[in-house]
Copies of this chain bind each other. A is one copy, B any other.
Amino acid sequence: MAAKIPSVWAREQRQPDQPALSRASIVREAITVLDAEGIEQLSMRKLGSRLNAGATSLYRHVATKEELLELAVDEVFGEMTVPDPGPDWRADVTAAALSFRATALRHPWLSSVLAQAGLAYLGPNLMAHSNRLAALFAAAGFADPDRGIYTVLGYVTGMSTTEAAWLTTVARSGATEAELVARLLPAARRAAAGYAHLSAASGDDETDPAEVRETKFRNGLEVVLNGLALTLTR
């Protein structure tokens, strides 16, 4: 009732009520939808109505859906932490790699977008992330820091992408990860039959699949870091 009266009060109320549809709020809400429902469920109409706005209103703040995705990607890069260079470069790189992986698994759509559009983004968070990563390898004393960066980043993105895709499959199935593994096992065994070197492994359902994945990631990373260490002492 009082709300209907147009007055200073109403206007003051309105500001905290509706953040006025800014670019930042759009990106934030987009990430929420992406995380909750996946990339193919994000539509401009749905996003608009979640912000109490029409679909086309969003286009005042964002040129295109693709640009919105770019902004979301850069935003998410801001969640990745890279430590300041310390005495143990391996620990630092490992921490950065794990943070990358954790972020990619928290936002499984990240990999899809990156795979389709590449890293020609140049957003501020992405640049800062690259810079901090470069600092790590430079401080460690590598003759060619670039090589360290792209080798580690290649491994990390590849591994994270595969994992994220799997998690997406799990999410879409509605089951837990362990359940889906169990359900797919017969088919996998059938498919692996006749191939001498494929096991479709593991009857021991003791170990948590998520733990297994993280161990795999760490093991592979260790291999990469060992390889890189060789280029240091030489």
Contact = CB atoms under 8 A, between A and B. Distances in A.
Oligomeric state, in copies? 2
Given A131-B195, A195-B128, A223-B231, A117 B156 contact: no
A88 to B, nearest CB: 18
A contact patch SS: helix
A115 B110 CA distance: 9
Nearest to A164: B115
Interface string A181-220: 0001001100110011110010000000000000010011
Contacts of A87: none
A168 B67 CA distance: 16
Interface stretch (A10-18, A52-60, A145-153): A145-153
Contacts of A128: 195
A44 interface: no
B150 A120 contact: no
Nearest to A161: B115
Ordered nearest first, which 9 A-B pairs have the shortest CB separation?
A: A158-B158, A227-B227, A118-B165, A134-B197, A115-B115, A131-B195, A151-B220, A223-B227, A154-B159
